[in-house]
Chains A and B, each alone.
Chain A
Amino acid sequence: MEFEEFAASRSSALLRYATLLSGDREEARDIVQEVLARAMLKWRRIIAGGEPYAYVRRMVTNEFLSLLRRRRRVAVVPLEERDLDALAAPVRHTADDELWQVIRSLPKQQRAVIVLRYYEGLSDLEIAEVLRCRPGTVRAYASRALAALRIELTEQPAGVTPVILGGML
């Protein structure tokens, strides 16, 4: 798969993921743009790994988690008319606003775990690989986040198998 093909087919998914992580459309675009630029430079190595989306999603996660990240908007990106429209649109208070605000206030790692688990549908073991931490750490982040979000657990997390609950080293 060529880089352009990947970018065309997966950019939307990456932008949605980055938007949930950052809680900000502009920052999401910054993150994805920066990550795709870096991915483009090492595309052969990425494609050799066999799972380019997983690799680039991990890059997006790292970029989001990096506290050193600064806004690096590239001047060549024009502000489109529809972006201006969106900015001018009245703020819509929906029923989930309060929950979204709490999600946005979570520490970055906890937010990443919640998005990876409940939006991307990853197992705790897969999340641990994305975040480069132990499955036990993922569970701890998830527990804290769910407590903060006041989520009542009525089912097992998506894709969680017994071994993952066990938190093997």
Chain B
Amino acid sequence: MTRTLDELRDTLDRHAGQAPPADITLLPAVRGRAAQLRRRRTVLGGAALVAAIAVTAGITPLIVRTDAPVTATARAWSRTPEQTSITLRAGSPFLLLDRKSTPTGQFVRVRNLQDVKSARPGVKGRNEGADVLSFDPGAFDPAELQKGTPVTIGDRHGWFARDMHAGVPDSGFDGSFVGWRDSSGVWVLVMNRSAETPDGLVEVARDIRVVDGMDAVSPMTLGWVPPGLQIYRADVNTSRIGGLSASFGLGYATDRKPDLLWFDSVREALPFELQLTRLAPQEWSNYQRELQGHPPVKMNGADTWYLPRPNTLFATQGQDGGADMVVRFGDCMGLVHVRDRQQITEADLNRLVASATFGSCTNASGWKRLLG
């Protein structure tokens, strides 16, 4: 039996009407809870102060220790903007999902393996995981974090801070954090938007490892790109249960380097963007409707549609000088976005597709570096 959108809207409207009333007891309850939260913050802040005093006095070096500055003992470490270097210890109950990297930072989602496998995640008492940020040496100011409560993470020492913001303004990284400086000099922050205590975050943090950079991989490998283009952003998910996808932002040396953001806004578009996902029939139907009447151009075994802007699929205000290309190959769909079609032309995109090697979007085992 199929249903219509009107039926769906009617059902939502009817059940919204069953919401509890916003009666006179709500605001007093809110004030009461706010007071409780404020008291808790005061207690935690006081604990941090006591700990800091103890450290200064050298009383409890085993319980609290400020993070030592990076010294000659810091291990050599490096990565490129397309590489991620966050991983989990072997045997961890958590799983890495998305891995995003920029020239100065990384973002990965760590989720409980049992939740990811389950159709009904969220068993009470189970640690759901956390989001993990890392900032390359020199790219993070730890002052705000270090005002928090000192915590011990295995053999490392860090801090727990609530209501903190990390990254550039409007990065979207707000909430509670457990953070520390790795021996590589990288700052690692484990984040949950509403954690009131550090316990769950510390549990995740204990399993985090910082390793040397690992290349982002892709189901599409490009044998040629316009000269000068480099990868400045990569966001890859190679977990089949988490959904396979890869996206990349490429720019020139003179372009402003992308910041680490939770949500990559179109306002931050780089000269060349590529998004690769599994070709889901339902999702493809969105494109199919818009592409009707535009026969594909066959290139290198792929169906391609070149769409100068403005076009009905990707028209973006203020970006009429750009162009887009839909590439369908095997079980994959690729979306190419070019900021300036005079700079990266249709001929460039044709050459790029002609030189590409295509893999699977339902199995990431054969994925390779984007730039072959």
By a beta-carbon cutoff of 8 Å, the part of chain A in contact with chain B is 4, 7-8, 11-12, 15-20, 23, 25-26, 28-29, 32-34, 36-38, 40-42, 62-63, 66-70, 72, 74, 76-78, 80, 82-83, 94, 96, 99-100, 103, 107-108, 114-115, 118-119, 128-129, 132-134, 136, 139-140, 143-144, 146-147, 149-155, 161-163, 165-169
Q: Is the CB of A132 within 8 A of B12?
A: no
The yes or no answer to B218 lying at the interface (CB within 8 A) is no
The docked-state distance in angstroms from the alpha carbon of A146 to that of B21 is 30
**With a CB–CB cut-off of 8 A, which chain A residues contact B249?**
169
The yes or no answer to B25 lying at the interface (CB within 8 A) is yes
Contact of B314 among A16, A132, A166 (CB under 8 A): A166
The yes or no answer to B348 lying at the interface (CB within 8 A) is no
The answer to whether residues A96 and B10 also contact, given A74-B33, A166-B314 and a CB cut-off of 8 A, is yes
The answer to whether residues A15 and B282 also contact, given A4-B27, A20-B12 and a CB cut-off of 8 A, is no
The yes or no answer to B163 lying at the interface (CB within 8 A) is yes
The docked-state distance in angstroms from the alpha carbon of A117 to that of B23 is 27
**With a CB–CB cut-off of 8 A, which chain A residues contact B11?**
96, 99-100, 103
Q: Is the CB of A15 within 8 A of B3?
A: no
- Please give the distance in Å from A71's CB to the nearest CB on chain B: 9
The yes or no answer to B141 lying at the interface (CB within 8 A) is no
Q: Is the CB of A68 within 8 A of B192?
A: yes
Q: Is the CB of B316 within 8 A of A18?
A: no
- Please give the distance in Å from A134's CB to the nearest CB on chain B: 7
Q: Is the CB of A140 within 8 A of B280?
A: yes
Contact of B16 among A19, A33, A82, A114 (CB under 8 A): A19
The docked-state distance in angstroms from the alpha carbon of A151 to that of B7 is 9
**With a CB–CB cut-off of 8 A, which chain A residues contact B269?**
168-169
**With a CB–CB cut-off of 8 A, which chain B residues contact A69?**
194
Query: Which segment of B45-53, B119-127, B205-213, B296-304 sits at the interface?
Result: B119-127
**With a CB–CB cut-off of 8 A, which chain B residues contact A77?**
25, 29
The docked-state distance in angstroms from the alpha carbon of A162 to that of B310 is 10
Contact with A along B4-35 (1 / 0, CB 8 A): 11011111111111111111011111111110
For the complex of A and B, 3 pairs with smallest distance between CB atoms: A67-B128, A11-B22, A37-B33
The docked-state distance in angstroms from the alpha carbon of A39 to that of B363 is 43
Contact of B34 among A41, A62, A83 (CB under 8 A): A41
The docked-state distance in angstroms from the alpha carbon of A163 to that of B316 is 6
Chain B interface category by residue count: 35 or more
The yes or no answer to B273 lying at the interface (CB within 8 A) is yes
Q: Is the CB of B5 within 8 A of A155?
A: yes
Q: Is the CB of A163 within 8 A of B32?
A: no
- Please give the distance in Å from A11's CB to the nearest CB on chain B: 4
Q: Is the CB of A169 within 8 A of B275?
A: yes
The docked-state distance in angstroms from the alpha carbon of A83 to that of B20 is 8
Q: In the complex, what residue of chain A is closest to B307 when comparing beta carbons?
A: A166
The yes or no answer to B75 lying at the interface (CB within 8 A) is no
Q: In the complex, what residue of chain B is closest to A150 when comparing beta carbons?
A: B2
Q: Is the CB of B14 within 8 A of A19?
A: no
The docked-state distance in angstroms from the alpha carbon of A60 to that of B278 is 31
Q: Is the CB of B283 within 8 A of A140?
A: yes
The answer to whether residues A74 and B32 also contact, given A149-B3, A155-B5 and a CB cut-off of 8 A, is yes
Q: Is the CB of A147 within 8 A of B282?
A: yes
The docked-state distance in angstroms from the alpha carbon of A140 to that of B26 is 36
Q: In the complex, what residue of chain A is closest to B7 when comparing beta carbons?
A: A99
The docked-state distance in angstroms from the alpha carbon of A87 to that of B12 is 21
Q: Is the CB of B283 within 8 A of A139?
A: yes
- Tell me the B75-131 residues at the A interface (CB within 8 Å): 115, 119-122, 124, 126-128
The yes or no answer to B172 lying at the interface (CB within 8 A) is yes
Query: Which segment of B65-73, B223-231, B258-266 sits at the interface?
Result: B258-266
The yes or no answer to B313 lying at the interface (CB within 8 A) is yes
A-B contact pairs, 27 of them (CB 8 A): A18-B19, A19-B19, A29-B20, A32-B26, A41-B34, A41-B37, A42-B163, A67-B115, A67-B121, A67-B126, A68-B194, A96-B15, A99-B3, A100-B15, A107-B119, A119-B16, A132-B172, A133-B263, A149-B8, A151-B2, A163-B266, A163-B313, A163-B314, A163-B316, A168-B335, A169-B269, A169-B273
